[in-house]
Amino acid sequence: MMKFPSVVLGVFVVLVGLLTGADSGSIGQCDLSSPPPSWLTTNATGILEYAVAGQPTSGNNFCIQQTDHPNSLHELQVAYHIDLGDNTASSHAAEHHQRFSSQLDTQNGCVNNNTRIVYCFPLCLNNTLQNMVIESALKSSQPADVAQDIQRTTQLDWAITVMQVDYNDPNTHINASVFLVPDAWCSVYIGIRPKLGFDYLYEIQLGKILH
């Protein structure tokens, strides 16, 4: 039986209200120092495949960059310039940080209890949206299908990224910054055992980006 790595996800939870503008440099055409300082980034190794939907990656607020390092590590970087609206409730965000920590030791910490879910770790405070994302993930082992299905079922104009994670690669690592706000961010790290075929593991991210 395969076991999904449950510790590869290094999550930096960024609390709203503590925006320091610490991100620097650029990812593709996204200049991480451009205001407002509401950038979220993901830097990952061990991504087999990825797909996007909802928003084009040709602008300056949603970018993806792949870099091949000399040591044969392939790094995938994603940047989202998040539209936080009037979300400044930092105490609210801190409260939810506690809740997500306690979910770390459960195998399925998500709202959907489908038995085909082997592992699930959400950073998504909107349970309705979280469940929709999971239902899409259960439907297909193809990132492109999942990304399209999320866009179709949610009808959101958010940036959507679906990354298929290699759970056999010891170099797999995902560093992501997130906002714990219900109406601008939702990510779900989910491992699924389909009725037929191989297990698959996704890091799925949805962000409401600035236009």
Which residues in this chain contact ligand NAG in the complex, by CB under 6 A? Answer: 10, 12, 23-25, 27, 32, 41, 43-45, 75, 77, 113, 115, 126, 128-129, 154, 156, 173, 175-177, 182-183
Instruction: Choose between 23 and 166: whose C-beta lies nearer to ligand NAG.
Output: 23
Name the 3-class secondary structure at 153: helix
Token reading at 38: 């509401």
DSSP characters over 102-135: HHTTSSB-SS---TTEEEEEEE-S-HHHHHHHHH
Instruction: Choose between 24 and 58: whose C-beta lies nearer to ligand NAG.
Output: 24
Contact yes or no for 120/188 (Cβ under 8 A): yes
Direct distance between the N- and C-terminal alpha carbons of the chain, in angstroms, rounded to an integer: 45
Instruction: Choose between 46 and 143: whose C-beta lies nearer to ligand NAG.
Output: 46
Inter-axis angle of helices 143-154 and 127-139, nearest 10: 140
- In the bound complex, what is the minimum distance in angstroms from residue 155's beta carbon to ligand NAG? 8
CA 185 centroid distance within chain: 9
- In the bound complex, what is the minimum distance in angstroms from residue 112's beta carbon to ligand NAG? 8
Q: Which residue is nearest to ligand NAG (CB)?
A: 43
Instruction: Choose between 24 and 98: whose C-beta lies nearer to ligand NAG.
Output: 24
